[in-house]
């Protein structure tokens, strides 16, 4: 599939939005049993896996070693998890007085999950999927 100048970023945002939906939805479910930070981390694992396969097959359609790419993808996203947690906790402190706990956690997690979008795109384009052949 040939991508134009704007097609790749748009596909990245669409696939990332779907992965964010997995992230937010699974965090809501995990929050029934886990504290906020643990639920965010578990949701991260769910969205990480779905995002990798969407990015690899649709956004950066390439061939190459899946294990190596998934390893790099995971390392890039671990940095994103740190940023997500930091933004989510800061937002939670700011939002909790204004909303009930579950609403504040939801809004804080949405803000946190959106924080690393631009750095993720650049790192995945230049590092994770850069060296492989186009499929």
pLDDT over 90 percentage in the chain: 49
Contact 23, 46 (CB under 8 A): yes
For all residues of the chain together, what is the average pLDDT? 88
Q: What is the pLDDT of residues 79-125, one digit of tens each?
A: 888 998 899 999 999 988 889 988 999 999 999 988 998 899 899 88
Of 67 and 62, more confident: 67
pLDDT on residue 4: 64
The closest alpha carbon to 94, from 42, 86, 30, belongs to: 86
Please tell me whether residue 63 adopts helix, strand or coil conformation.
strand
Residue 6's Cβ-count burial label (10 Å; 0-12, 13-18, 19+) is: exposed
**In angstroms, how far is the first alpha carbon of the chain from the final one?**
8
Tell me 62's DSSP state: E
pLDDT at position 2 is: 52
């Amino acid at each position: 599939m040939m991508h134009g100048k704007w097609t790749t970023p748009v596909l990245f945002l669409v696939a990332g939005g779907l992965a964010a939906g997995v992230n937010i939805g699974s965090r809501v479910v995990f929050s029934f049993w886990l504290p906020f930070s643990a639920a965010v981390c578990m949701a991260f694992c769910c969205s990480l896996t779905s995002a990798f396969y969407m990015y690899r097959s649709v956004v950066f359609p390439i061939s190459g070693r899946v294990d190596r790419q998934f390893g790099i993808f995971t390392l890039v996203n671990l940095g994103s998890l740190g940023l997500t947690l930091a933004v989510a906790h800061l937002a939670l402190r700011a939002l909790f007085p204004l909303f009930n706990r579950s609403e504040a956690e939801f809004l804080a997690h949405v803000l946190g999950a959106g924080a690393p979008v631009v750095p993720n795109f650049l790192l995945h384009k230049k590092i994770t999927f850069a060296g492989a052949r186009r499929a």
